[in-house]
Amino acid sequence: MCGIAGWVGQHKVEAALEQVQKATSSLAHRGPQQERIWQNELGNAVFGHRRLCIIDLSDAAAQPMHLNDRFTIVYNGEVYNYVEVRNELTKLGHSFHSHSDTEVVLTAYAQWGTDCLQRFDGMFAFTIWDEQEQTVFAARDRFGEKPFFFHFDDETLRFASELKAL
């Protein structure tokens, strides 16, 4: 179990970083081993993560995780077939720096876009920021095993693993 939280908007909001820090602090019980916050250069995307290390205990699997200076993910859950998906992505020319399913989810999104969801078997909730396109993609598993709460008001998206974090 990990905790994720974030804020994405059309414009920079000074309070967003502080809001995400408070949100991730309220999720400390979901990920007592590590807390990290990331904000993009424009300040219109802020992600927070509370980590409970299970699959890959190394710092290479820390989140928010980045790929190619373009994609950033915060993720909670487990993709049970991540080894098979990783092998498929490796055959397509991708390389990996960790042994985490998080990196597989992020790379699968970079390869297949939203169609990556069709390849995952597991329980998960995640949000991916695309810095190049300035877009956000959020998803959770088909049965909603991993919680994902959000609020959208035409200008900003706020999300978290628990309602109290919003």
Q: Distance from first CA to last CA of the chain, Å, rounded?
A: 18
DSSP 94-159: ---SSS-HHHHHHHHHHHHGGGGGGG--EEEEEEEEETTTTEEEEEE-TT--S--EEEE-SSEEEE
Residue 58: band (very low, low, confident or very high) from pLDDT cuts 50, 70, 90: low
Active site residue 116: no
**Residue 13 maps to which CATH number?**
3.60.20.10
pLDDT in tens, 1-38: 789 999 999 888 778 989 999 999 898 888 767 789 99
Exactly one of 1, 2, 43, 58 is catalytic; which is it?
2
- Amino acid of residue 107: T
Model confidence, pTM: 0.93
Residue 148 above 80 pLDDT?
yes
Range of the domain at 67: 3-165
Mean pLDDT of 61-79: 93
Number of compact structural domains in the chain: 1
